[in-house]
A and B are shown apart, each in its own frame.
Chain A
Amino acid sequence: MTGSLLFMAIVFLAGAIICVSLAKRLGLSSVIGYLLAGILIGPYVLGFIGEEGDDILHFAEFGVVMMLFLIGLEIEPKNFWNMRKTIIGMGGIQVGGTMLLSFLLFSLLGFDWEVTLVISMAIALSSTAIAMQTIKEKGLMPTTFGTSAFSILLFQDIIVIFMIGAMPLLANTGNTTTTDEHSTTANLIESLPLGLQTLAIISSVAVIIVLGRLIIVPMLRKVAKTGVRELLIAAAFLIVFGISFIMELVGLSPALGAFLGGVVLSNSEFKHELESTLEPFKNLLLGLFFMAVGASINFIVIAKSSLTIGGLLLAIILLKALVLYITAQVFKLKLDQKLLLTFSLAQVGEFAFVLLSFAFSLHILEQEQMDMMLVITALSMALTPIISMLNERVILPKVGTKQSIKRPMDHIAKSHKIILVGFGHFGSTIGRFLRSHGIEATILDQDSNRVDFLRKMGFEVYYGDATRLDLLESAGIADAKIIIVATNKLNVSKAISKIVKEKYPHVEMLIRTKNRDDAYELLNLGHENIYRESLETSLAMASEVLHKIGFRKYTLKRQVKNFIKYDETSLRRLAKTSKRGDDYIFKARKELQEQEELLGADFKRGIVDFDKHWDSEHIRKALENSTTKL
């Protein structure tokens, strides 16, 4: 049944496509869809996938590596350094606390101390794949919760290196055969004395930094010069594979190495190119990873000792949640952020698979113990999205909105209700200007710290995901006159505008977009009031330049208005022919093509002298050839 590679590929891809689109339609996270697909095609339901599930899991862990590389790309070294206290503080409390509690728990259950320690280490680690994927999908990275979760996960990525390193020591006390069959996992570091180990770790980090600066960036420049698109994809993979290889060679986590590599490249000019190249591959690999997790859930083990597993699963999740809540408490997070953190990291993560199977191969764990823990890990990962969803739909709405202060609105604000989505740099300017006219917009924002502060300032603020109809409704969309979508995330503004257009077509929508591409998409969805954030600022700069070399200000001002009109027309014209969507591969080329087209049209338009107002030279010339006198 599970023969050829082609067949496997078809099973995985079809499973993913069917289940993920189903999950999305039901408004669930894509992670649930992938897990479901894995369970379906796994050995216990349809049986398409058998033993090879484990190999796939290892292969798919590469998705996690890529994800960390991409996360690294978005973090500039300076910010990373600024986060060091949160990383060590929060991560330390979380890992230490969880290990302590689970050590107590499993000791009480009568396990050997080596086994208990291995299991505690495995439990302490959360799933970077699930948590980060969810955080990014919901655009929560810039919130306090996002950075806290990220810090903890990063700390775990670092600490796992030491855990893997410590594993053979545990084996020595019991069974001394760290045998040949594990030579694949043996690495350079283990054979070194402790001092040199540290040195090796530091120097390999240094190697990555130096590689990034001195080799990778110049290499990318060369590749970019060739103009061969697929070479860039190859180069992107080469970077990630290369870093992983070096890290595995010295025994560090490839994910950590990839993260560092990403940070090093984050302020190079190739940041966006690398991002858009690797993004779809990363998503697919992560999907594969989740499917493999789903497929590895051993329903026979569950059936045999369902009560033990159920009890342990519950105990472990509660225990992790408790420690996370305390960690958040220590770092003074707001209540809703605390809850988000608690529920999103309460699972046992993919590192557990690595640790447990390594411990098994070192004969620390027995087959049954490993199977049981693997099942618990997989189940806890599968439960995470469900728990998070419950938190978001049931608990958070009560916590998030109960603090809202009702302000008496004057009658203008009442009869002209305005909703403002997103109060970042862009939205806040809008909100301040409206307020300076006595118009109080109802604000929706995702950062609870900001929400808190805005409430103190007397704004009517709702916390949460504005793509949810119920939140829009509790913010009063039904009575609103205008909704301003000031977020810079296209998928968020698309989702909001779709809902509003469908359910509340009478509400006028003003939508901010980053660039032409996003504007095309929104125009093609039938939205008219699109505001490109870069248009007027760049023209202001351009006209300032022209002024500095002698052009008259008032003429420039009128020319800018005229250019905007011309550009809006061409935007609408080009929107009709643009069919881009998620076509990443050809995006850059299409963008170039389009710029060419725009510049071509500009060239035809020539140097514009768009009107003859107040132009006495023009009148003079006309009069020269006529008999009439003025």
Chain B
Amino acid sequence: MKKILIIFSHPKLEKSRANRSLIEHIRGKDQVTIHDLYEEYPDFHIDVPREQQLLEQHDIIIWHHPFYWYSCPPLMKQWIDMVLEFNWAYGPKGKALHNKICLNAITTGGSKEVYCSAGYNSFTVEQFLRPFEQTSNLCGMTYFPPFAVMGTHSISDEVLHNYKISYGKLIDLLQADLSLQDFEKLSFINDIPQLKTT
């Protein structure tokens, strides 16, 4: 069974219905480590060696965060800046993350419809996530398509419930060594048509 590390960043989890429900649903799963950055480093003083050790101990990295202003919360950017060091994560000797799997799990306030060329956000979530994709590539990881809970401002509790079940299922499948091809065929990934229209 693959070991999953969820790098979770939310500056105000107590005010987020969607993220609370997602995180609580997967908490306690076997071989899944939820690493809550805003609880670990409230003063942004990241313990780099500890973070690198954590990464080395896992096979799959999920960057789980709300999608603020088309990007991640500041502490997660800080984490990327500090932890993914030259000659550890990238550079001639930087092979620590090679062949690991990486993906973003995000929540967006706006609905699916607004994240496309016709919507007021103009671009798809996948386009917005390019910096993360390339970060993952540079570190020699395989970047999987994102898992996105969209329209959190408007979706009903029932829809949210379905999302959280899907998130749990996704994690189970990843642990069972799902390939990228199979992953792209998953119904709940395909369910977000905008993700495909690159």
Using A615-B12, A630-B109 as known contacts, say yes or no to A553 and B38 having CB atoms under 8 A apart: yes
Are A613 and B12 in touch, CB under 8 angstroms?
yes
Residues of B within 8 A of A615 (CB): 12, 15
A589 is an interface residue with CB less than 8 A from chain B: no
Q: Return chain A residues, CB-CB under 8 Å to B39.
A: 552-554
* A623 proximal to B (CB < 8 A): yes
- In Å, the complex CA distance between A619 and B154 comes to 10
Decide: B152 and A554 in contact? CB cutoff 8 A: no
Q: What are the residues of chain B within 8 A of A416 when measuring CB–CB?
A: none
Given A615-B12, A630-B109, do A553 and B42 touch, yes or no (CB 8 Å)? yes
Given contacts A616-B18, A629-B154, contact A557 B43 (CB under 8 A): yes
Q: Which residues of A contact B18 (CB under 8 A)?
A: 616
Kindly state the separation between the CA atoms of A629 and B110 in the bound complex, as whole angstroms: 8
CB-defined contacts of B10 to chain A, threshold 8 Å: 614
Alpha-carbon distance between A619 and B152 when the two chains are bound, in angstroms: 10
* A617 sits at the interface (CB 8 A): yes
Q: Is B114 an interface residue (CB 8 A)?
A: yes
Chain B 2-50 interface residues, beta-carbon cutoff 8 Å to A: 10-18, 38-39, 42-43
Task: Verify B109–A552 contact, CB threshold 8 A.
Answer: no
Residues from chain B with Cβ under 8 Å of A556 in the complex = 42
**Which residues between 548 and 593 of chain A lie within 8 Å of chain B, taking CB atoms?**
551-557
User: Are A552 and B14 neighbours in the complex by a CB distance under 8 Å?
Assistant: yes
Contact bitstring B36-75, A, C-beta under 8 A = 1, else 0: 0011001100000000000000000000001010000101
What is the interface size of chain B, counting residues whose CB is below 8 A from a CB of the partner?
24
Contact A552 B12 (CB under 8 A): yes
Docked CA distance A557–B19 (Å): 21
Q: Does B111 contact A (CB under 8 A)?
A: yes
| Contact of B196 with A by CB under 8 A | no
The answer to whether A613 touches B11, judged by C-beta atoms less than 8 angstroms apart, is yes
Task: Give the residues from 93 to 123 in chain B that come closer than 8 angstroms, CB to CB, to chain A.
Answer: 109-111, 114
**B17: A residues at CB distance < 8 A:** 616-617, 620
A614, B42: Cβ atoms closer than 8 Å: no
Q: Does A407 contact B (CB under 8 A)?
A: no
| Alpha-carbon gap, A630 to B75, bound state (A) | 25
Q: Is there an interface contact between A619 and B14, defined as CB atoms closer than 8 Å?
A: no
A557 B15 Cβ-Cβ under 8 A: no
Interface of A is mostly: helix
The CA of A531 and the CA of B39, in the complex, are separated in Å by 28
Contact present for B38 and A617 (CB under 8 Å): no
- Distance of A613 Cα from B12 Cα, bound (Å): 8
Taken residue by residue from 594 to 630, chain A's Cβ proximity to chain B (1 for < 8 Å, 0 otherwise) reads as 0000000000000000000111111110010000011
**A553 to B114 alpha-carbon distance, docked (Å):** 34
Check B110–A617 contact: CB distance below 8 A. no
Are A630 and B11 neighbours in the complex by a CB distance under 8 Å? Answer: no
Select from chain A the residue with minimum beta-carbon distance to B38. Answer: A554
Tally of contacts, chain A with chain B, CB under 8 A: 62
Do A555 and B114 touch (CB < 8 A)? no
> Which residues 318-366 of A have a CB within 8 angstroms of B?
none
A552/B66 contact (C-beta < 8 A), A613-B11, A617-B17 known:
no
Given A553-B39, A614-B66, A616-B66, A630-B153 contact (CB < 8 Å): yes
In the complex, chain B residues whose CB is within 8 Å of the CB of A613: 11-12
Report A510-563 residues with CB < 8 Å from chain B CB.
Answer: 551-557
Which of B68, B152, B154 contacts A614 (CB under 8 A)? Answer: B68
Question: How far is B42's CA from A290's CA once the two chains are assembled, in angstroms?
Answer: 60
Given contacts A630-B109, A630-B114, A630-B153, A617 and B42 within 8 Å (CB-CB): no
A554 contacts B11, CB within 8 Å? Answer: yes
Q: How far is the CA of A277 from the CA of B94 in the complex (A)?
A: 71
- With contact pairs A614-B66, A619-B153 given, residues A552 and B16 touching in the complex (Cβ less than 8 Å): no
A622 to chain B, nearest CB (A): 9
Shortest B16–chain A CB gap in Å is: 5
**Which of A551, A617, A630 sits near B15, CB closer than 8 Å?**
A617
CB <8 Å contact, B42 and A616 = no
In the complex, residue of chain A having the shortest beta-carbon distance to the beta carbon of B18: A616
Is A620 touching B153 in the complex (CB atoms < 8 A)?
yes
Docked-complex contact B109 and A554, CB < 8 angstroms:
no
Q: Which of B43, B109, B111 is the one whose CB lies under 8 Å from A616? A: B109
When the two chains form their complex, are residues A616 and B152 in contact, meaning their CB atoms are under 8 A apart?
A: yes
Quick check: A557 and B42 within 8 Å, CB to CB?
A: yes
In the assembled complex, which residues on chain B have CB atoms less than 8 Å from the CB atom of A552?
A: 12-14, 38-39
Let me know if B11 and A614 touch, CB within 8 A: yes
CB–CB B153/A623 < 8 A: yes
Chain B residue numbers with a CB within 8 Å of A551 are 14
**Bound complex: CA of A555 vs CA of B16, how far in Å?**
13
Q: Residue on A with the closest CB to B111? A: A629
A555 to B39, alpha carbons, bound, how many Å? 9
Q: In this complex, which of A551, A618, A629 has the most chain B Cβ atoms within 10 angstroms of its Cβ?
A: A629
Q: Which of A554, A619, A620 is the one whose CB lies under 8 Å from B42?
A: A554
CA distance A557 to B40 in the complex (A): 12
How far is it, in angstroms, between the C-alpha of A551 and the C-alpha of B110 when the chains are bound?
28
Give the nearest-CB partner of A619 in chain B.
B153
| CB–CB B16/A616 < 8 A | yes
Q: How far is the CA of A615 from the CA of B153 in the complex (A)?
A: 11
Asked if A619 and B109 make an inter-chain contact with CB atoms under 8 angstroms apart, the answer reads: yes
A554-B38, A554-B39, A630-B153 known; A618+B15 contact, CB < 8 A: yes
Known contacts A554-B11, A630-B109, A630-B110; is-contact A616 B153 (Cβ 8 Å): yes
Query: How long is the Cα–Cα vector from A616 to B13 in the complex, in angstroms?
Result: 10
Residues of chain B with a CB closer than 8 A to A618's CB: 15
A629 / chain B contacts, CB cutoff of 8 Å: 111, 114, 154
The reply to whether A623 and B15 contact each other, CB–CB distance below 8 Å, is: no
Chain B residues closer than 8 Å to A616, beta-carbon distance:
15-18, 66, 109, 152-153
Taking the nearest CB of chain B, how far is it from the CB of A563, in angstroms? 15
List B149-169 residues whose CB lies under 8 Å from chain A: 152-154
Identity of the chain A residue whose Cβ is nearest the Cβ of B16 in the assembled complex: A616
19 A-B residue pairs with CB within 8 Å: A552-B38, A553-B38, A553-B39, A554-B11, A554-B38, A554-B42, A556-B42, A613-B12, A614-B12, A614-B68, A615-B15, A616-B17, A616-B18, A616-B109, A616-B152, A618-B15, A619-B109, A620-B153, A630-B111
Residues in chain A within 8 A of chain B (CB atoms): 551-557, 613-620, 623, 629-630
Known: A554-B12, A555-B12, A623-B154; 9 extra A-B contacts, CB below 8 A, are A553-B42, A554-B42, A554-B75, A555-B11, A614-B68, A616-B17, A619-B153, A620-B153, A629-B114
Q: Which 3 A-B pairs have the closest CB atoms?
A: A553-B42, A614-B12, A615-B15
